[in-house]
Amino acid sequence: MNKQTPRGAGKGRYRSALSRRLLAQYLVALVLWAVGLTALGLLGWSVCNAIIWQPTNPIYWVLQWVREYVLLVYGGLLAGGWVAESYYFLSRPLRYLDEIVEGAKRLAQPGEALVELPADLKDIQDDMNLAKQQALQAEAAAREAEQRKNDLIVYLAHDLKTPLTSVIGYLTLLRDEPEISAATRARYTGIALDKALRLEDLLNEFFEITRFNLTHLELETAPVDLALMLRQVAAEFGPMLAEKKLECSLELPETLPYNCDPDKLARVFDNLLRNAVNYSFEGGTVAVRAEAGPTGVTLCFQNPGPTIPPEKLDRIFERFFRLDASRGSASGGAGLGLAIAKQIVELHGGRITAQSGNEQVEFAVTLPPQENRKILE
């Protein structure tokens, strides 16, 4: 879980960096004005005393008046400078505010144009541009996921026609030809059943997409034996393993107690084993290992299969992403199994990774130590 920046932390940083700089400039300007005015007054006093003035000279009477009211004149000039400088430095934050408002408007506009602010607001400019880039990336990822989902639904709808047509066709033959042999009837019935099962798989993909989009996963934890759970899940894959002439090797401790949501974690194991079986070479061995250590519980699912290219390995946990993009293979699902597995594992405070090389594929699930685990509700 990423640490979130406390509310107001950024604002405090800008205040300490920008506002203190403005305050320092304001105080320095006031001091310089006071010192400069005093120095100028003393210099003028010395110069005027060095000149012999005629009483008829108008400047003489002005200087006489200034000398008589020197404190009033000095105070007036000092106050005038203070007012002018205060106005200037008070208007600067307002100009900055206008710049930030304009930057926020540009931030909300479509397109990739970056926000440009004055040099004093560079920190805010950088954060705004970072937020815009992240929003653009999230928007692009959402569009891509939505497009993949829409494409998948179109493919699924198209694929529904083929098995449905076959079911109807063979059932029609059985109805219209009551005198066919028992062997032919059994063959037609078997084909119709296979096509009906394929229809069930396709409909399950539709429901999977709907559940993932509409359901918020919440954990209901209980103490379970992960080793026993893995043995039970692996036993359920007996028919699938036999069909592909695969073996399942279990390297598990006698017991592996852990506090988790058993139903959801069993779904993770089911998804990973199903993925391993679907993409394994025939005649290979699917290996499942589990061990507990100081860093937590580690569970590995390894199978022999085509090496996954790095560009696909980086995206393998994305929603609706399928290794086999074609719809001709019955092994590919809706592209949600690994995404759901990742979400469940992270809800338990763990992480899931994938690696592939030398025609081996391995998924590793790491769950944190029981005493340090933080479940994200």
List helix spans (H) across 109-121: none
Is it the case that residue 250 has pLDDT exceeding 90? yes
Residue 123 in any domain: the answer is no
Q: In the chain, how many domains are there? A: 3
pLDDT in tens, 254-289: 999 999 988 889 888 988 998 898 889 988 999 999
C-alpha pair distances (Å), 241 with each of 42, 130, 262: 102, 49, 24
Q: What would the DSSP string read from start to end of 183-248?
A: HHHHHHHHHHHHHHHHHHHHHHHHHHHHHHHHPPP----EEEEHHHHHHHHHHHTHHHHHHTT-EE
Q: Does residue 319 contact residue 335 with C-beta atoms inside 8 Å?
A: yes
Q: Does one domain contain both 208 and 239?
A: no
- Quick one: pLDDT at residue 139? 82
User: Region 73-88: what's the mean pLDDT?
Assistant: 86
What range defines the domain where residue 93 resides? 9-109
| 319 and 238, same domain (yes or no) | yes
CATH number, domain containing residue 161: 1.10.287.130
Q: What is the pLDDT of residues 184-209, one digit of tens each?
A: 888 888 888 888 887 777 676 666 65
Across 163-167, 214-218, 241-245, the highest mean pLDDT is recorded for: 241-245
pTM over 0.75? The answer is no
Verify that 197 and 167 share a domain, yes or no: yes
User: Distance between CA 195 and CA 215 in Å, rounded?
Assistant: 30
